[in-house]
Structure formats: structure tokens, C-alpha cells
Amino acid sequence: MLKSIKFIQILIIMIVFIAPSVTAVDTVKILKPLLGHDKKSKHKDEVILRSLQVTEEEYGPYKFHTIDGNMSSGRSLISIQKGDIINTYIAPSNEEWNTNTIAIKIPVRQGLSSYRLLLVDKDSLPTFSNVKTLDELGALTAGLHRGLVATSIFKEAGMKSITASNSEGLFLMLSRSRFDYIPRAVYEVYDELNTRKSELKNVVIEPTIALYLPMVSYVYVSPKEPRLAKRIETGLRILIASGEMKVILNKYYAEDIKRADLKNRTIIKINNPNFKDEVLMNDKTLWIEH
């Protein structure tokens, strides 16, 4: 009788303490892009999915949910903090997100986020061919998306700018010569122009200049999901170490990197005073050559 009772007690302990760890399912809830599943979104989704897949042996099963919804960065941050509608988000590093969520400080785009090319009116190409310095660029006016990290960098650098609440408004304003250029990331500028070429017939990518704004994009996880954050970080480090992170990046952006031909452009640096992680910058395993 005593042996039976003891066996039952051991069984209860196993159910209470062991079973949850075996049956726990890590669930990622991330926003679905509103305007189709473009390659930027596919790249981000694949990086997170692979981080879950390569950690299955250690952490067990997972679920990956894309959530329909129209959220600004501010609303997304509130939701991430609560962990209700979404619990995972990829965004450019900034102090507000770093402070209020779990920031996984591994650059998802491995340095590509720092480079910007310029969309300009083709009639203004002679003007830009003479621009070699930040001061010379500062004499021209940028069109910027209100509320983005890159926009705050431009403003802190004292660059002349006009802002709009969305990208479509900016493209329309450029076509009407409201400002001189729109800086767009290497990984987005070619697709953005290609999908609008019928409307933006006079807009081209300036061929001689690239801007360098030290920036990184991190995976941010709800503070209510520390286990999920640890799992994603573990997975990302596995992908970095194996070289798969670079393979995934090239899968989506190799052609854009090649077309940008950064080595043969004049690189103009704009300081980002909010990015001060020298340890991260000096870790060569986290970056790729562009």
C-alpha cells in the first residue's frame, strides 16, 4: 500500500513538473504585411521560422501565426508589451523598443539596413553628380517618412527635409518636385521603383551616391515571453554560426546588393547618435561585406 502511494506521488510530481516542459509550444504572433507578402516580409518571416526550427530539439514544438491588422510602430510596441495581439516584431533599433521589450541584439539584415540609395528626378542627376560630402548633400532637401528611425537620424544631423505620413505620398511629392530626393534602403528601393514605374516615369535611382547611416534591425519579443526570446536568440546564433543567416539574406537581396554596387559609389556617412553598441559593431561574425 505504501509503495502504491509513493508511486502515485512520484507520478504526480512528474506530471506537474516534467509534462509542461515537454508539451509547451512556443508561439510566435507577428503582423501580416498589409500590401502583400513582399520579399522584405518573407525574409523576416524565414529568419524567425528558421530560428524556431533549428531549436526544436532543445525547445520542442512551435507555432507561427501571422496576424491581420493595421498597426503603427507605436501601436505595435503597446501590443508587444502586453503580448496579446502580437508578441514578436522586427524593427530598426531604437531606445524605446530596446527599453520596453526584449531586444535580441543580432542584426537581422547583417548591416544592409545601414545603406541608402537616392530616388531622384532624372533631370536633377547633374546636380547629384557633383555631391561628394554631407555638407553638399545637406544643401538639398530629402523627402522622409514621418516617425521612422532613419527620419530622426536625418533631423538630428540637421539635414533639410519634408515629411509625409506614408511612402505613397512621398513618391507623389517627389514626382511633383516638392523636394530633391528620397533615401531608401538598398533592399527596398529597386522593388519600390519597379512597382511604380508607370506612375513615376521621371524618377530614377541616383547612380553615384550611397548614404551610410549606422543602423540595425532587431527581433523584439514581448517581455511576457522570455522563453520565446531566448529560443529565438539561440536559433539566430545557430544560423549565424552555420552561415545560414547569410544564405537567407542573399536568397532575397543578393541581386539588390549587386545592382547597388556600393564599392563604386561615393559613400556619405550620416552619424546615428543613438547607436552606440561598439561591441556589436566590432563582432565581424554578425556582418557581411557589401
Predicted confidence pLDDT, tens digits, the chain (290 residues):
545 545 445 444 444 444 444 557 999 999 887 555 588 889 999 999 999 999 999 999 999 998 887 787 888 899 999 988 999 999 888 889 999 999 999 999 988 989 999 999 999 999 999 999 999 999 999 999 888 888 999 999 999 999 988 888 899 999 999 999 999 999 999 999 998 888 888 999 999 999 999 888 999 999 999 999 999 999 999 999 999 999 999 999 999 999 999 999 999 999 988 777 666 666 767 776 66
Which of 289, 280, 285 is CA-nearest to residue 260? 289
Quote the pTM value: 0.85
Enumerate the H helices of 73-163 as residue ranges.
73-82, 95-100, 125-129, 134-138, 149-156
Same fold, 22-109+217-242 and 112-212: yes
Pairwise CA distance, residues 73 & 220, whole Å: 12
**What are the sequence ranges of the domains in the chain?**
22-109+217-242, 112-212
> 22-109+217-242, what's its fold?
D-Maltodextrin-Binding Protein; domain 2 (3.40.190)
Task: Return the CATH number of 112-212, one of 3.90.550.10, 3.40.1180.10, 3.40.190.10, 3.40.50.280.
Answer: 3.40.190.10
